[in-house]
Amino acid sequence: MIFSRHMIVAVAASLACTVSLAQVDEGIRKKAEETCGSCHGPGGAKPAMPETPKLAGQQYEYLIHSLKAFRDGTRESPLMGAMAKPLSDADIISLSRYYSSQSGLRTRY
């Protein structure tokens, strides 16, 4: 009896953990697609214009560095400066993790 109650608690705890991780990923994906996807394309893999770089599969550190540089103005771009200004450090980390984990070499859409 006590044993089975423990089992239920353990299963419930692992389920809750899985769900919250999935929600974090979904939140990042949604933010990226809604905020950045109009120019960089779905998953950052298919930019709308030739002068807009692909982000999919780009190095994590490079994405972090670029977004911080746009935000503080050391890398000048009127467009990306405006896009990066409202991002927190946590946003930059999440977005860089999202785009660096996308497949950049295969066309997925």
Check residue 101 and report its DSSP letter: T
* Smallest gap from residue 108 Cβ to ligand HEC (A): 18
* Cα gap 81→92, rounded to integer Å: 13
Contact of 39 with 49, CB cutoff 8 Å: yes
Which string of x and - marks every residue 31-60 that binds ligand HEC (by CB under 6 A)? ----xx-xxx----------xxx-x-----
Question: Residue count at the site for ligand HEC (CB under 6 A)?
Answer: 17
* Smallest gap from residue 32 Cβ to ligand HEC (A): 7
Of 7 and 82, nearer to ligand HEC (C-beta) is: 82
Contact of 62 with 99, CB cutoff 8 Å: no
Of 19 and 86, nearer to ligand HEC (C-beta) is: 86
Alpha helices in the chain (DSSP H): 2-35, 37-40, 60-72, 78-84, 89-100
* Smallest gap from residue 106 Cβ to ligand HEC (A): 18
Distances, alpha carbon 2 to alpha carbons 6, 8, 9, 15, 21, in Å: 6, 10, 11, 20, 29
Q: Which residues ranging from 60 to 79 are in contact with ligand HEC (CB under 6 A)?
A: 63, 66-67, 77, 79
With CB under 6 A as the contact rule, the residue among 83, 93, 97, 104 that binds ligand HEC is 83
